[in-house]
Amino acid sequence: MLIIDANVVLRLILNDNEKMVKEARTQLLSDTFFLKREVIAEVVYVLSGVYKTKRDDVGKAILEVLEAEGVLVESEDTVRYAIDTFQTQALDFVDCLLYAYHSVEGEKIFTFDQKLQKLLGQT
């Protein structure tokens, strides 16, 4: 199984390099990909920060990748929850992941981030 990198995901989402997109799609059809949470975080960061993509559109794009055949994601329910949170809250994606760990997996979160504290009900 291959781990998919942020640049591959970005090429697929942005469709901005015909050669790379074709190669990525060919590879996707021939193997199973594993998409790590940190790669998703990087893609969200680049789409939001560099390309100024709206939060809702970022979420939709990531969900399309998650739903592609042959793409496996660690803690998929948690990641989907984080994406949903990212689309509706003014938090960085990593904070949304932390909130999802708390909400979906029951993890305890210690933070000084006031927005995250409020969402966690710690204020």
Assess whether 37 and 13 both reside in one domain. Answer: yes
Both tokens assigned to 44:
């969200």
30 has pLDDT over 90: no
Q: Is the same domain home to 46 and 30?
A: yes
45 lies in the same domain as 58: yes
pLDDT at position 65: 93
pTM (two decimals): 0.93
Same domain, 65 and 37: yes
Q: What is the mean pLDDT of residues 59-87?
A: 95
Q: Assess whether 92 and 106 both reside in one domain.
A: yes
- Do 35 and 66 lie in one domain? The reply is yes
Whether 66 and 86 map to the same domain: the answer is no
Number of separate domains in the chain? 2
Do 32 and 70 touch, CB atoms closer than 8 A? Answer: yes
Token reading at 30: 């021939």
**Domain that includes residue 112, residue range:** 76-123
pLDDT at 19: 97
Query: Mean pLDDT for the chain?
Result: 95
80 and 39 together in one domain? no
If asked whether residues 67 and 89 sit together in one domain, one would say no
**Is the domain of 62 the same as that of 96?**
no
Residue with tokens 């995901």: 9
Q: Are 111 and 97 in contact (CB under 8 A)?
A: no
Per the CB < 8 A criterion, the answer to whether 83 and 27 are in contact is no
